[in-house]
Amino acid sequence: MKKINLLCMLLIIMAIPVNPVFAITLGVQEDMPFYVYTDNNSKKNHFVPSGWMGDYGAVKINQACRNNPYAGDTCIEINYTGEPTRGSGWVGVFWQNPENNWGSKDGGFNLSKAKKVSIMARGAKGGEMLEFKMGGITGKYPDSDTVGIGPLALTSEWKEYTIDLTDAELFYISGGLVFAASRMDNPDGFVVYLDEIKYE
């Protein structure tokens, strides 16, 4: 009997993920919906597009675009030229909290109440190919999970895309959203629009 108990204890201890390097502060579960972006400079926005990856010199992001937003006054315009400015052949941008946080700052939100991320998106022409992902920040303060969708082709009309978070661990997320796109899928680049990006 004693032996069995000891084995149970050992299994329980081994099942608890312990990493002394991690120093996260577990916050209260945020209420839904929880916005990545709704309108330019809105107090509801919780993340900043500051995590530039790949050929980032080939991409511009305007969070104050007034060209046919899905809701409110503004949407996000992403202009990607497709140029291999660093030879990567792809580009990606993280919306982070706080700004420029690659896991060195304690910026994770507890989004455990979320069931999905919903993103409104459209392309200037239609057929623009990109991927969306949430989470994935590593480092001293790592995100608790990452889930992605795509590559998917946008249409020229607003359409909702969702990342299913049913099975995701969401207790610590500082990388609210990432978009990524490749030169192979988009040799001439693209102009795409995003709006109403939220956990819900």
Contact status, residue 171 vs residue 13, Cβ threshold 8 Å: no
Would you say 72 or 89 has its CB closer to Ca ion? 72
Would you say 73 or 164 has its CB closer to Ca ion? 73
Smallest gap from Cβ 81 to Ca ion, in A, equals 25
Burial class, 62, CB count within 10 angstroms (exposed 0-12 / middle 13-18 / buried 19+):
middle
Contacts with Ca ion, residue ranges (CB under 5 A): 39, 69, 71-72, 195
Would you say 141 or 199 has its CB closer to Ca ion? 199
Smallest gap from Cβ 97 to Ca ion, in A, equals 19
Smallest gap from Cβ 65 to Ca ion, in A, equals 9
- Cα maximum dimension of the chain: 71
Would you say 58 or 197 has its CB closer to Ca ion? 197
Pick the closest to residue 110 from 27, 14, 185, 17 (CA basis).
27
Smallest gap from Cβ 39 to Ca ion, in A, equals 4
Instruction: Please tell me the distance from the alpha carbon of residue 20 to that of residue 40, in angstroms, as a whole number.
Output: 39
Would you say 95 or 141 has its CB closer to Ca ion? 95
Beta strands in 11-114, from DSSP E residues, in sequence order = 34-37, 48-54, 59-65, 75-80, 90-96
DSSP label of 109? B
Instruction: Please tell me the distance from the alpha carbon of residue 174 to that of residue 156, in angstroms, as a whole number.
Output: 30
Would you say 42 or 88 has its CB closer to Ca ion? 42
Smallest gap from Cβ 105 to Ca ion, in A, equals 27
Smallest gap from Cβ 76 to Ca ion, in A, equals 8
Pick the closest to residue 171 from 27, 33, 34, 46 (CA basis).
27
Output b/e per residue, 22-41; b: 16+ Cβ within 10 A. Answer: eebeeeeebeeebbbbbbbe
